[in-house]
Amino acid sequence: MRRNLLAAALALAVSTTAAAQAVPQPVEQAAREIAAELAKQCPLAPANDTAAYDACRRGLFASQALRARLPAILLWGRESKAPGATLRTTHLTQFAPDVWTNMYVPLFMFNGRYTLEWVAEERLYRMRLEAAFRNRLAPGQFPYPFWHEEAKWATYENANAVTLWIAPDTQLLRAAQFTDIAPTPRLQAVTPVKHAKHDGQWVWTDAQGRTQPAVTLFDGVLRPDNPYIHAMDRQYRDLALQMRESQCSQCHVPNNPEKMSRLVLLSTPAHAAGEIDRLIKSVRDDRMPVDEFRNTVPLSPDQKRWLLESAEAFRASWRQAQAWERERTKEAP
């Protein structure tokens, strides 16, 4: 009798575990379509192949499988190497979907292979894609100097996987991460690149007088003949000045000096465009800037007015530029 009860309990445990590990068909389909699209648009190539990188960006600009499963805000960053780390305890940066798809995903290459499993602690499905990183591109092709922190650059250079966290009910991505310690071999040999020590500048002018990083100037997002590009450039410069005057630039930069658990970047035109609605709302509601204790410090009436005026002008041109792009897409044969 006791033996029969033990056997029944064991069978129930095995059955329950198998059910918990079974992946629902909608989640499996989403993962399969994302993996196929990434492998098609961003296949393996030499790490310095700019043409392959540009083709990947163009392909993802018009992507269906990936973009259809992106939320309004996506969290992105390194996988923590701390034992027991979760998404909630890991510092991540929040991005608008266009920013992440255009500037971060194309830096990786994919072969279409992946694993998919339920992670009870996160209540999400973990899709881990085999990947390699384009570490030998020109500096202006990176959203900002990743080499400002040696450990971050090393993880990027040696990355062997990109992890996507999929919600079971909506099949939308909740977060995405990269890692260099996935249990799969690297897809290709890595030749390390040693960059000059970062000088603290997130935007700079190159020897030809061009603003860098070029990737942050809407290259690949807006057509070169978009009539609103020049206005946006001028308005972002004004916005950047007002953000410096209002202390925004002390926090919303890639090195995350305030160690925010959910960093918002405003340090380049493309990053600011992705966060412009949240920036305006935070300023209107007097939720920024904050002091060293994370307490809000209201701006003076003049500072608040000037910051909002410059932010709203930038947002208006950004929306006009997007509308123009949508119309051009409709007109395309």
User: What pLDDT digit, counting tens, does each position of 118-152 carry?
Assistant: 999 999 999 999 999 999 999 999 999 999 999 99
**Same domain, yes or no: 166 and 232:** no
Count the domains in the chain.
2
What is the span of the domain harbouring residue 273? 222-331
Question: What is the reported pLDDT for 155?
Answer: 96
94 pLDDT band, cuts 50/70/90, is very high
Residue 8 pLDDT greater than 70, yes or no? no
Last residue of a domain, one of 153, 179, 205: 179
In-domain check, residue 318: yes
Do the beta carbons of residue 237 and residue 302 sit within 8 Å?
Answer: no
Query: Which uninterrupted H or E stretch holds 125?
Result: strand 124-133
Residue given tokens 């805000």 in the structure block: 73
Q: What is the mean pLDDT of residues 282-304?
A: 79
In-domain check, residue 249: yes
Question: What is the reported pLDDT for 257?
Answer: 64
**Same domain, yes or no: 242 and 326:** yes
**List of residues 6+ apart from 169 with CB closer than 8 A:** none
Neighbour count for residue 238 (Cβ, 10 Å): 15
Task: Output the pTM of the full model.
Answer: 0.84
**Same domain, yes or no: 89 and 168:** yes
Sign of the CA dihedral running 46, 52, 53, 59: negative
More confident residue, 46 or 253: 46
Do the beta carbons of residue 141 and residue 214 sit within 8 Å?
Answer: yes
Question: What is the reported pLDDT for 15?
Answer: 33
Q: Which of 177, 160, 164 is nearest to 80 (CA)?
A: 177
In-domain check, residue 192: no
16 pLDDT band, cuts 50/70/90, is very low
CATH number of the domain bearing residue 68: 3.10.450
**Same domain, yes or no: 228 and 168:** no
**Same domain, yes or no: 228 and 173:** no
- In Å, what is the CA distance from 176 to each residue of 26, 78, 93, 128, 172? 19, 9, 10, 10, 11
Quick one: what percent of the chain has pLDDT higher than 90?
A: 55
**Same domain, yes or no: 238 and 156:** no
281-291 pLDDT, tens digit per residue, is 988 988 877 66
**Same domain, yes or no: 41 and 160:** yes
Rounded to whole angstroms, how far apart are CA atoms 83 and 270? 35
CA 174 to chain centre: 11
